[in-house]
Structure 1
Amino acid sequence: MTFLILGSLTVRNAKHETIHIQRLKHRQLLATLLLRANTPTSIEHLMESLWDGTPPPSAERNINTYVHTLRKLLSPDDLRSTPIETQADGYLIAIEPEDLDLLTFQTRVRQGRQASRVRDLDTAYHYFEQALGLWRGEALLNSRGSQSLDDAAAHLSAEHLASLEELSEIRLSLGRYAEAASGLRAAALANPTHERLWAQLMLSLYGAGDRAAALRAYQRFRKVVAEETGLEPCQPIQDLHQRILASGSVFDLRLPAKSIHLVEAAPYDPVPRQLPRDPADFVGRGEELVQLRSLLSPPNGRLPHHVVAITGPPGSGKSTLAVRTAHLVRDRFPGGQLYANLHGATPGIRRLEPLEVLGRFLRALGVAPHTVPSDVDEAAALWRSLLDGRDVLVVLDDVVDLAQVRPLLSVPKGSTILLTSRQTFALVDNCVHVRISRMSQTEAATMLARLAGAERVARDVRATTRLVGLCGNLPLAVGIAGARLANRPQWEVADLVERLEDERRRLHELEAGDLAVSSSLAVSYDLFLGGAHPLDRTAAHALCALGVLQVPDVTSHIIGALLDVPVDMAERAMERLVDGHLAEVDETGRYRLHDLVRLFAGEQAVRQQTRAARSATLDRALSSYVATTRLAVKLSGYRRPAPTEVDLSADPAPLTSEDEACEWLEQELANLLSAASQAMAAPEERTARLGAALALSLFWHLQRSGLPSRLLAINRQVLGVGQRLGDRNIQAYAHGYMSMALSMTGHREEALAHVQEELALFRELSDPHGEQIALGSLGEIHLLLGRYEEAIGYAEAQRRVAKTIGYRPGEHYAATTIGAARHKLRQFDQALKVLGDALTQTREDGNLYQETAVHEKLGDIHLDLGDPASARICYETALTCAHVAKLSIAEPYMLLGLARSSRLLGEFDQAAVYLARSVATARATGTEELKNGLAEEEAVLAAHGRPITALTGS
């Protein structure tokens, strides 16, 4: 039985099942006994602990009842085996040191101090790491409520803090500066006047190469000390501050009674600068800017507000105001500025999910992409940890509702969330709303004058007032009108007013909100369409074309495909739209439309083009996407896409290398999935076929990247298209790809049904290549289901068909399945023979994908044969192959095998590291079927004193 009190009081039985102790008094009694484990505890002490010295008359009888209840909970089958013993005047809990985390903690601390005294710092580091890894939060968190237990918890917290200081000292002495800083941040903030902690934090930050952060830490400490005591920091810390100020990158600093030598080091974490370009022509919103600056950059050194929401109707300038404000206060946030457009109100574009936004931000803060958690709560916890001790401004633009951003809002003090939305955020704690609607008449006129020229605007005040009114006093509409006047210097303001007055129906809608912006956009569009320069008319056509394609952003190559014009002309046309404030462009040359402009573009496409013309426009873009995707797949070394009957009318983008291809697939993935989904929903057969071809072409990229949820969702649509068109080839591949996605997430019975459909369809089509693929999938799924004889039967059938058609990869796949199944049947010699032959063949054919799997299966056999050294060599080779083949989905299995091999070789610390990496990559790739294996290995390692739960964060 295991007892844990370094966190919430938790009890686990021999089966590692949690024993639930519901009543507080029962937990308090057990906690009191555990604090004095193996020592008799008197009834008087128990009364003091449970009732703060004022026990009820029935206290002793109550305690006896509580003890009886605890014994039944702890030993339900045999009360004689209970660890709670009756003593002369009280009770005692008899427990082995390794079965109580407090005793283990104290032992490890004692061992660490002994090693530290003889300067064996590596050993000391090891013991203190183990000791602190036992803590799961505040001690006795669910058992407090009496003064005695509160005091005990405070004492344990002091022990924890002292141990952290000692570990930090060792980390600094060993040169582990970034690691020391990471461990010290939260503790220093929780103990704002603790001199030793803050001195160590300053040293660790400096040693990690972040001199500015070290100086900021001193200023924060000095401010708190002055506010709470009226004094300056102690002289040693002042001296340390001066040494950092005066030093270069190498120096020797001394703390009281300690000597620490710092060496030159690179900064340990990135500082993101993601804000869009500062809107230089920004005018108006003076009151709002003053309010926002006071919230985000308060005077007198006060902390910025937690969450600030800019809310208002569409077209009111929320996003521009947010970006302008962020630039004005960016110096207040030296930890960086993060930005994301969440597409909450973008017509036709899927809004971002919380996990996607967290993933972007975590990667920007230095988290490796494959280690970003796939669980939103875990990602949010890592998000909070990385922001701790930083001062970061986070701009969340176009938020649809609270649910979309809730996991991101709980940021540590010093950081701020600035968001824009049409919705109110009244339910968010400590959120200040800055509500905006229309600009004032003066501000709108000033904006118009800035764009069109002050002299021209002043010549006709009445026309200016009328024009602003027709624009609804909305910044978007006023900005477009001003830009058009600027592009037509021969016009007076009244000329543009007259054009707007002609749109009487639209003028009525102009006063209604959203349609007001559409009316203003129509003026801008008409000016382009009727422009004297051909490029203006091309720009108008580009806007219409973008209303047909529903993707987040596009490159010039796709614009060229949409318009059927050369790429350079497409780029020039888009730049004209950017100049006219109808499109936006980022530094990577990707163009996007404001959500309201996109809606307007879609309406214009319907008005200006027939359905057939719109379909042809979409098909050209889809053809370009399919052609480029197939080229990228080929350059990336993936298997060839599923064959689909579709004629392509566009050339691929100019990709020439594997690196370019991989980068293109990553950057375009959201666009490709969105375009494929839109196309497959279209009624036109060619469009739907292009969408299916695009989705099928993405299979290997999605599969190897470990994206099963996206893989499953898009192939459900593919299956629907295949059924609607009566195309059995498309249906067969969709069934097969869905089965793989379901198998990746552990839904094997459902996967089995799909692959059986796949086999039947390929046999109907007399397609032996597809038939052997389905047979191979059936063998693999039966292997995973533990039906080993059936797995061998299907794999043998695959091998026969593959050999008949001369398809060597199919033979390799079948051999791997047969070898693995023979292993599971304990037929080791046969398994080794089959897999050995398969390894030779895969190497001869250069089939790195299948070679990875063969090495893994050989490693599994060597483990079962009691040869962990050979197993480790196999898993290491498999992991190398997986890296080269970009098989992210396979990495968790190899790492788990390495963890088991290292553990059997007695290398428990190395095993713990491999297991932690396996857990992280499994989460990142959605490999849920590994859960049982990971839990089993974690339990075994934990039995050897390795706190794997703390390592993995599970």
Structure 2
Amino acid sequence: MLGNMTVSPADGEIILVRRRKHRQLLATLLLSADVPVPGHRLTQALWDDAPPPSADRNLKTYIYALRRLLSPEAPRSAPIKTHGTGYLIELHGGELDLLTFRDHVRRGRRAARDDSAETACHHLEYALDLWRGEPLQDARGSLWLDEAARRLAEERLGAVEELVELQLGMGRHVEAVARLRPEAAAHPLNERLWGRLMHALHLSGDRPAALRAYEQLRKTLAEEAGLDPGEAIRELHRSILAAGSTNSAAHVPGGSTNSATSVPSGSAVPVPDPAGPPSPDGAAPPRQLPRDLTGFVGRVEELVRLRSLLAPWDGARPHHVVAITGAPGSGKSALAVRAAHAVAGFFPGGQLYANLHGATPGIRRLEPLDVLGRFLRDLGTPPHAVPDDVDQAAAMWRSLLHGRQTLVVLDDAADLAQIRPLLSVPEGNAILATSRESFALVDDCVRMWIGRLRRAEAAAMFAKLVGAERAAMDARATGRLLDLCGGLPLAVGIVGARLANRPGWAVSALVERLEDERRRLHELEAGDVAVRSSLAVSYDLLSGGTSLDRTAARALRLIGMLEVPDVTPYVVAALLDGPVELAERALERLVDAHLVECDEPGRYRLHDLVRLFAREQAIQEDPESRLGGLGRALEAYTATARTAMKLSGQQRSITVPELEIGAAPAPLSSGEQAYEWLKRERANLLSAASQGIASSEEKAVRLGFTLALEIFWHLHSAGSRADLLTIAHQLAATGELMGDREVESIGRYHLAIAFVLSYRHSDAALHFEKLLALSRELSDPHGEQRALGGLAHTHIAMSRYQEAIRYAEAQQDTCRLLGYRVGEQYAMSMIGWAYQGLGELDQARTVLERALTEYRESTTVTQEGWLFETLGDVHLELEDPVSAKTCYERGLTIVRAAKMPVAEPHFLLGLARSCRLLGELDRTADYLAQTLALSRATGNDVVEQEALEEEKAVLAARGT
């Protein structure tokens, strides 16, 4: 909206809104994003106070046209929603430039209030860069929209003025002038803007330009308005004339410079001198910073924060010690050098630099006395006068830095001990250190952790290295290559260098090499730079360290062998076969060494490349322990999953084979806690089960199989169709691979159930038939009755009702012989459902009600809820919406208590249909909205389509 209106879907081409009325309507809705706009407001925006007689009908037509434009495939899913007699447009974060602009302006103001001027400037600059011209350029034409555009322009101008005030307060006068010139030209009669421009020009040292600006304003006012400049502008003009060339600050009309940085009248404006004064002995200050990298990209927020710490905008002293920490290869050194160059002018005493080689393979790391001696000599101390005692050298170091204002960059420190003697420097000096360690124990130290590059930053870095055209030639391959690098700057730099040196290679050729995990670390080498060797330094320090360090190194190896997204101390304790407290200490040690990432308390994960490295070490150093570690981890997951399923009250598989589990479960004390654990650990449980099933060790296979069965019905209840199918296929294949017919039978049953949930009923029937034959071969009546019940279900779904009844009656007979009442009740419910399909509704109702009454004590929660749904459907067909509504309400209560989100949309849709038939259209709309939201969340396309059809029925009932 901040210019010509543009609609750009995230995954498609720009949508052209060709008709002015459509643009005006869309603009009006966007101006009140996420807030309902009454119909009369929309009418006014389109036609002022003279709407045509057909205005209401035209408005609906325009709304429909916009919905078709924004969502051609499914207009009803477009973000424009009906709300009473009006409409609203639903937006998410980042979807509208106006909202993004306002958000960054708010954040900028907040930062300014918190005295974070650099951050405030960053946000305001970002906000203003969103503007592409006059607001609503191609959507004006009514008085209401013209006024809205004027207000937006004022918002922008206000942000400009706030940014300029900050820039002037920070001494960035030239930037303020550059920002003000075009604004003043666009507003030739705005005295406030011209006053700020005059003030900025004066502070920047261009007094003649400031005086010319005044003359231009005076002339324009006289010619176009017949007025003289106001008293405030004339006073500013006199102040500039009186100040001569001293660059004094002067009063600005409509605002003043920041009180912390105002310059008293007649004093010179202090500007950092990049050259700096000579040192006390007359020698030039040291300038030891390495060359700034031309290929450096990104890290904008980090650079802003480093600048505010090392060169505070209000002229305060720099922070004492700033440490940049992060994983191997994360770009700590490059960031430190870039930041040091950015603030070099604020340290007239010079810049000292030392690479401490704390993590450089094959090079001895520097000792504290080595560094002190080098710096003392660089500061003018004769070599023979440099002490050979660390404490004496540190004392001389502090004396020489007194009053100097020197920036000291200590790059690649191995640990705190390596640099501790250098840290206590006099005020006005600053230490900028980089390390893989956390530096948590350094007094008065600000620690900045840097992680992976953002995707856009990694792409920009890669494009600089290989050329933008080559990077864009195969965008999909480039994207995959960056994914394989995992946002690690070292890895991105290596693949960029390799391709730059091989101009004949396509990006996809290197992707193909990196896809093979066994050789990925080998491919991430360029000359003497390699990801593997960078990681090896940190790992070797742990392996040769204290007892805790060695435990941490072992934990890293074992975690690397476990193919899960993240781990908890409980799981790592199982891997180590030790106490949880030790596992947590080892994990925290790995975090401090930046070999493990911790995004939230108690959860730890490995970068993909660190995982590959850890796996290599496990295979080389610990082959037997790694196999035992996988088994212990699977036991821990299985024990806790079993406990969680029992505590949470969810349906459990009755076919889980007996398997001795030695591990104790993680401490879970309530059903709610157990359910949350299952949700939070779902990805880990799936991955661990899959890894176990695919193992070459029979015990691990059986543990993985058992774990998958334990969580199967949790996945079913949550509606995780894709996960359920994946794990079910593995379950079905396990028995065949093991040559175990009982295991095969169990796997076949669960695969059929997964197909049922995915509405693949013919596939499900095929596997139920195979299960029936297998169960009869094994003389397994329980397996036989499960297969019969499954065949009854799938045949009903395929509208083969008579066959379904035969299968259900056979299941009933088998269950009576077994005394298995749950199976009998299930069979009866299938018979009732089949009668419904045959149109024998009274008989269906009688059977279903008897099933509820006779088997209530023995039935499962799942079956009782499902019975209420089917009975509700029957009541609807009998044109009894009151009874239907009661059934759906009771069923919904049951499945919600059982935490079965996959079932909820069915009941909500039934309630919507019941309410429509009862004339309760507002409640119908509410139930439909919930149905659509939940069906989409659980991936239920069938119910979603039925709900959309029901929406049409509601519109027809409303007469719209």
TM-score by length of 1: 0.53
- Whether the aligned pair in 1 keeps the contact of 2:788 and 2:810 (CA below 8 Å) is yes
Deviation of 1:626 (Å): 0.9
Q: How many percent of aligned residue pairs carry the same amino acid?
A: 42
The equivalent residue for 1:606 is 619
The equivalent residue for 1:135 is 63
Deviation of 1:658 (Å): 0.8
The equivalent residue for 2:691 is 678
Aligned to 1:888, the other structure's residue is in SS state coil
Aligned to 2:600, the other structure's residue is in SS state coil
Q: Could you tell me how far apart the structure 1 residues matched to 2:594 and 2:42 are?
A: 68
Q: Could you tell me how far apart the structure 2 residues matched to 1:857 and 1:447 are?
A: 70
Deviation of 1:597 (Å): 2.4
Q: Could you tell me how far apart the structure 1 residues matched to 2:691 and 2:57 are?
A: 52
Amino acid at match of 1:669: R
Match of 1:861 among 868, 874, 882: 874
Deviation of 1:614 (Å): 2.2
The equivalent residue for 1:147 is none
Deviation of 1:756 (Å): 1.5
Q: Could you tell me how far apart the structure 1 residues matched to 2:550 and 2:100 are?
A: 62
Match of 2:544 among 530, 536, 543: 530
Deviation of 1:448 (Å): 7.9
Amino acid at match of 1:458: V
Cα 1:177–1:763 change in 2 (3 A) is closer
- Whether the aligned pair in 1 keeps the contact of 2:539 and 2:553 (CA below 8 Å) is yes
Aligned to 1:738, the other structure's residue is in SS state helix
Cα 1:649–1:512 change in 2 (3 A) is farther
- Whether the aligned pair in 1 keeps the contact of 2:769 and 2:791 (CA below 8 Å) is yes
Deviation of 1:486 (Å): 7.3
Aligned to 1:585, the other structure's residue is in SS state strand
Cα 1:745–1:687 change in 2 (3 A) is same
Cα 1:508–1:139 change in 2 (3 A) is closer
Q: Could you tell me how far apart the structure 2 residues matched to 1:285 and 1:555 are?
A: 43
The equivalent residue for 2:938 is 925
Tell me how many residue pairs correspond in the alignment.
591
Amino acid at match of 1:788: Y
Cα 1:819–1:578 change in 2 (3 A) is same
The equivalent residue for 2:818 is 805
1:292 aligns with 2:286: no
Cα deviations by residue, 1:522-564 (Å, 9 ceiling, x for unpaired): 3433333333x43222222212211221111110111110010
1:646 aligns with 2:659: yes
Deviation of 1:724 (Å): 0.4
Match of 1:907 among 892, 915, 920: 920
The equivalent residue for 1:512 is 526
Deviation of 1:761 (Å): 2.3
Cα 1:748–1:931 change in 2 (3 A) is farther
1:766 aligns with 2:779: yes
Amino acid at match of 2:744: Q
The equivalent residue for 2:638 is 626
Q: Could you tell me how far apart the structure 2 residues matched to 1:553 and 1:651 are?
A: 20
Amino acid at match of 2:371: A
Consecutive unaligned residues of structure 1, counting only runs of 5 or more, are 1-6, 9-23, 33-106, 114-126, 143-159, 203-214, 234-282, 300-313, 327-439, 463-476, 490-495, 497-506, 948-954
Cα 1:290–1:771 change in 2 (3 A) is closer
Q: Larger deviation: 810-819 or 863-872?
A: 810-819
Deviation of 1:285 (Å): 10
- Whether the aligned pair in 2 keeps the contact of 1:109 and 1:128 (CA below 8 Å) is no
Amino acid at match of 2:837: K
Aligned to 1:704, the other structure's residue is in SS state helix
Cα deviations by residue, 1:88-127 (Å, 9 ceiling, x for unpaired): xxxxxxxxxxxxxxxxxxx9869999xxxxxxxxxxxxx9
Deviation of 1:515 (Å): 7.2
Q: Could you tell me how far apart the structure 2 residues matched to 1:926 and 1:562 are?
A: 36
Deviation of 1:640 (Å): 2.5
Cα deviations by residue, 1:316-349 (Å, 9 ceiling, x for unpaired): 31599999999xxxxxxxxxxxxxxxxxxxxxxx
Cα 1:680–1:779 change in 2 (3 A) is same
- Whether the aligned pair in 2 keeps the contact of 1:583 and 1:592 (CA below 8 Å) is yes
Deviation of 1:571 (Å): 1.2
The equivalent residue for 2:575 is 562
Cα 1:659–1:509 change in 2 (3 A) is closer
Deviation of 1:853 (Å): 1.0
Amino acid at match of 2:300: L
- Whether the aligned pair in 2 keeps the contact of 1:815 and 1:838 (CA below 8 Å) is yes
Pairing 1:370-769 to 2, within 5 Å after superposition? 444-445=355-356, 455-456=368-369, 458=371, 479=412, 481-482=414-415, 512=526, 516-531=530-545, 533-610=546-623, 612-641=624-653, 642-769=655-782
Cα 1:604–1:763 change in 2 (3 A) is same
Cα 1:838–1:571 change in 2 (3 A) is same
Deviation of 1:566 (Å): 0.9
The equivalent residue for 1:355 is none
Deviation of 1:924 (Å): 1.5
The equivalent residue for 1:897 is 910
Deviation of 1:218 (Å): 7.8
Cα deviations by residue, 1:729-775 (Å, 9 ceiling, x for unpaired): 33223222222222222221112111212222223332222322222
The equivalent residue for 1:818 is 831
By relative contact order (CA 8 Å, sep 6+), the higher-ranking structure is 1
Deviation of 1:616 (Å): 1.3
- Whether the aligned pair in 2 keeps the contact of 1:909 and 1:946 (CA below 8 Å) is no
Q: Could you tell me how far apart the structure 1 residues matched to 2:626 and 2:959 are?
A: 62
Q: CA RMSD in A?
A: 5.5
Cα 1:587–1:109 change in 2 (3 A) is closer
- Whether the aligned pair in 2 keeps the contact of 1:188 and 1:198 (CA below 8 Å) is no
Aligned to 1:581, the other structure's residue is in SS state coil
Deviation of 1:713 (Å): 1.0
- Whether the aligned pair in 2 keeps the contact of 1:109 and 1:131 (CA below 8 Å) is no
Amino acid at match of 1:754: H
Cα 1:232–1:223 change in 2 (3 A) is farther
Q: Larger deviation: 676-685 or 853-862?
A: 676-685
Q: Could you tell me how far apart the structure 2 residues matched to 1:881 and 1:196 are?
A: 52
Q: Could you tell me how far apart the structure 2 residues matched to 1:800 and 1:840 are?
A: 20
The equivalent residue for 2:844 is 831
- Whether the aligned pair in 2 keeps the contact of 1:453 and 1:486 (CA below 8 Å) is no
Pairing 1:772-811 to 2, within 5 Å after superposition? 772-811=785-824
Q: Could you tell me how far apart the structure 1 residues matched to 2:858 and 2:906 are?
A: 24
1:942 aligns with 2:870: no
Pairing 1:241-390 to 2, within 5 Å after superposition? 288=296, 292=300, 316-317=329-330
Amino acid at match of 1:658: G
Cα 1:715–1:140 change in 2 (3 A) is closer
Q: Could you tell me how far apart the structure 2 residues matched to 1:285 and 1:636 are?
A: 60
1:873 aligns with 2:886: yes
Q: Could you tell me how far apart the structure 2 residues matched to 1:769 and 1:486 are?
A: 71
TM-score by length of 2: 0.53
Q: Could you tell me how far apart the structure 1 residues matched to 2:661 and 2:598 are?
A: 28
Deviation of 1:520 (Å): 3.9
Aligned to 1:591, the other structure's residue is in SS state strand
Q: Could you tell me how far apart the structure 1 residues matched to 2:91 and 2:67 are?
A: 27
Match of 1:883 among 887, 891, 896: 896
Deviation of 1:668 (Å): 0.9
- Whether the aligned pair in 1 keeps the contact of 2:872 and 2:884 (CA below 8 Å) is yes
- Whether the aligned pair in 2 keeps the contact of 1:815 and 1:835 (CA below 8 Å) is yes
Q: Could you tell me how far apart the structure 1 residues matched to 2:530 and 2:741 are?
A: 49
Aligned to 2:573, the other structure's residue is in SS state helix
Cα 1:752–1:568 change in 2 (3 A) is same
